[in-house]
A and B are shown apart, each in its own frame.
Chain A
Amino acid sequence: MNRRELLRNSLLTFGAAATVSVPVEALVFASGEDASRDLARPNWKPAFLSANQNETLIMLSETIIPATDTPGAKEALVNRFLDLILSALPATTQQEFLESLAWFDTGSMARYKVPFASLSDGDREDFMNLVAWPHTHVMWQQSEAGFPGFEHFSRLKRWIAAAYYSSPAGFKEQGWDGWPARGALRGCEHQPEERQSDKQGAKPGEI
């Protein structure tokens, strides 16, 4: 369906829509209401995070999702959204988040003697490579022990990715153009003779 078809279809059903008034108690979002704009206000201050925590989060989120040819986490205000949502979540969730965030500073101090937000680009890359992948310490004749850095990284990455890919910048990164018409479903366009799975003797997984 193209945009013209959507408009025509909207008109087709407009009559029914126009006859129903809005109940006063209904949850109706005002036209143009956009909570993401509120995050961009010039006088924004964190409601939950401390200034240091906020700085660490900005640096970590931009390292995980950097600006490339598209905006990164910093421009997407990932830190501001996470500050907002953390302020509304249970204390246990808040505590887990802060523990993981603190680990990055602790780990950075132990290895480089500076907080995470103050690392040089090279050291930050080095540190992230250490924590961004599953990692175990195995000592001779000792059982395997998990490396906590990966767990902290994974926890914060899930939050940061969710915040980024739900932001206006993240939506655009995933091909959102703001227009509701989506076009026709394509589906599989292969012809049967092109598909091995239609033929006798095909192996599992052959297309």
Chain B
Amino acid sequence: MRFEDDPLTRSYDAIVVGSGATGGWAAKRLSEAGLEVVVLEAGRNVSPKEFTEHKPAFQLKYRDMAGAGDWRKSRPIQTQCYACTEYNYDWFVDDTQNPYSTPAGKPFSWQRLRIVGGRTLCWGRQSYRLSDLDFKAASHDGYGHDWPISYADLAPFYDIVEDYVGISGSAEGNDALPDGRFLPAMKMTCGEVHFRNTMAKNFGRTVTIGRSAIITQVHNGRAACHNCGACERGCISYSYFSSPFTTLKDALDTGKCTLLTNAVVAHVEMDSSTNRATGVTYVDGKTRQTKTIRAKTVILCAQALESTRILLNSANGRHRAGLGNSSGLLGRGLMDHSVGAGASGELPQFTDAPDPLSGPHRANGIYIVRFRNTKQGSRHANFIRGYGFQGSAGAVFNQEAGGFGAAYKKAVKTGIYRISVGAFGESLARDDNFVSIDPKLKDAWGIPALHISMTHGENERAMHEDAAESGAEMLEAAGARNIEIRSAVSEPGMAIHELGTARMGSDARTAVTDSFCQLHDVNNVFAMDGACFVSSGCQNPTLTMMAITVRACDRLIDRFKKHEI
């Protein structure tokens, strides 16, 4: 390597920390605008040869079953994630190397990956826009803060992201869930069509096919989904959105972007005389050497809690409580959608046979749009905000059939027609849900670790009681039998939608970043991921994170053009 090509001797226009959904977009947007970018990823690179979506379970030693496998011992938290399996566990962090603490009686399940692409390798792909019911929620019900942006501000950037990513879905004209620019929708099963029609007729509720970042036709050089159904294990045709093979690849193709892997960022380097960041210090994950890399701007896309951890660990003489923490709010307002409530049952009026394992499988479900506390509807007496449902209906093989012998074998094959819906509830931003640095705990690279303190509150509990009731009510109206309901609220973290801790706002006294994700306290450091969320809505957040990132990057490019950086 020539001296001038060594990343450590160069000064970049931008350091992007993280290579997932928002890091990929920041790298793409900035490098395509001609800026020199370096992306620091804490994990290793990934190859399509690791994809296992077509590998049948019987080829695995333990068939991903029943908690067997020594690898689980190093990942007791990660195995709580549905997507962390015997196929792909090494995409997820080793919990013994990446510790965090929680208060007694307040568990938090922090499920995460450290690898190029981050969670986009195995995310759920559900992609929904927020609406002004969410951006201006405080004005609607008086709780918390409005976002400093409105839906109109973000809509053009949703368009950009959707046009590139490819979101299959169906327009519904429901204000609570703005329509986007969709590829052809996946098809509903007969049971789902029946359910959709019954909900519209009986309750005036909108049931739509899941809006998914899975492409249903050739799109931007990627092939249409081949319907194998196991997206969390990779995709040979890159049919679901994953940053290493889309945004990040585009960035690297510009020749303006450098990717450094195994670069575990510890803190932001500051020039105290100018109060500007000069770069970041990271630990080489393999050699354990500490290195510093310089740039005109630092963009944190490390995932909400990791970005805030870096800011908290960047405390210095001028920023004693952490970088960007003059408000005292850095780390506060942690959110994660509440999950756990729902209903399931059987639709005996449908007698379809299950699709064979080698038949098409839709890696998507249906979505019931929020119907509580909407602008048009009445206010619920027991809670504010609302929830959406995700679910599905269809025939499945019935291993739970009764009896034994040839009759049992036949019953399994005949199958059973099931329907289920599960709620995703808004998690209120509360300042007593927070992260801080644990003074006694460090990770395997010597970097101080987080202390995470979060509970779901009475509002979430009341919301989930209502969700269980309304779920059962809807299934009953659809003619379901053997209905079972769940009203429990799972421990925080289980939605894998960590948001907040560096919320945006116009006032530096009540927010950490401005509406373009720039720290109020330092004008060349940005938090462009879920950390900047003011409220959570109830929709899956990744699409909004990406749109916010594109908006913030376009503003940053403009500032570069005006020589303001």
Residues of A within 8 A of B (CB): 1, 5-6, 8-10, 12-13, 16-17, 20-23, 25-29, 33-36, 63-66, 68, 70, 81, 84-85, 88-90, 93, 128, 132-133, 153, 157, 161-162, 165-168, 170-171, 173-188, 190, 195, 197-198, 200, 202-207
Contact = CB atoms under 8 A, between A and B. Distances in A.
A123 B48 CA distance: 55
B187 A175 contact: no
A178 B59 CA distance: 12
A154 B277 CA distance: 63
B371 to A, nearest CB: 19
Interface residues of B, number: 82
A28 B479 contact: no
A27 B193 CA distance: 41
4 nearest CB pairs, A to B: A205-B479, A175-B356, A187-B187, A9-B223
Given A27-B50, A205-B480, 8 more contacts: A12-B223, A29-B55, A128-B405, A162-B66, A176-B358, A180-B54, A190-B190, A207-B194
A35 B356 contact: no
Interface stretch (B406-414, B437-445, B501-509): B406-414
Interface string B377-388: 000000000000
Given A20-B47, A27-B89, A165-B412, A180 B187 contact: no
Contacts of B359: 175, 182-183
B88 interface: yes
Contacts of B478: 204-205
B194 A186 contact: no
B227 interface: yes
B228 interface: yes
Contacts of B53: 180
Given A13-B223, A181-B226, A161 B399 contact: yes
A23 B259 CA distance: 14
Most buried by B among A6, A128, A168: A6
B65 to A, nearest CB: 6
Interface in B349-406: 349-350, 354-362, 397, 399, 402-406
A86 B190 CA distance: 40
A190 B350 CA distance: 12
A184 B227 CA distance: 7
Nearest to A8: B223
A29 B227 contact: no
A193 to B, nearest CB: 13
B61 interface: yes
24 contacts: A9-B218, A9-B224, A17-B236, A20-B48, A22-B49, A23-B45, A29-B55, A29-B59, A33-B59, A35-B60, A36-B59, A70-B409, A85-B65, A85-B66, A89-B67, A161-B412, A165-B399, A166-B57, A167-B58, A175-B357, A177-B358, A182-B358, A195-B193, A207-B190
Contacts of B224: 1, 9
A29 B402 CA distance: 37
Most buried by A among B49, B55, B349: B49
Nearest to B415: A174
A188 B198 contact: no
A134 B221 CA distance: 56
B448 to A, nearest CB: 26
B230 to A, nearest CB: 10
Interface string B407-451: 011001100000000000000000000000000000000000000
Nearest to B55: A29
Contacts of B70: 88
Contacts of A168: 56, 58
Contacts of A165: 397, 399, 412
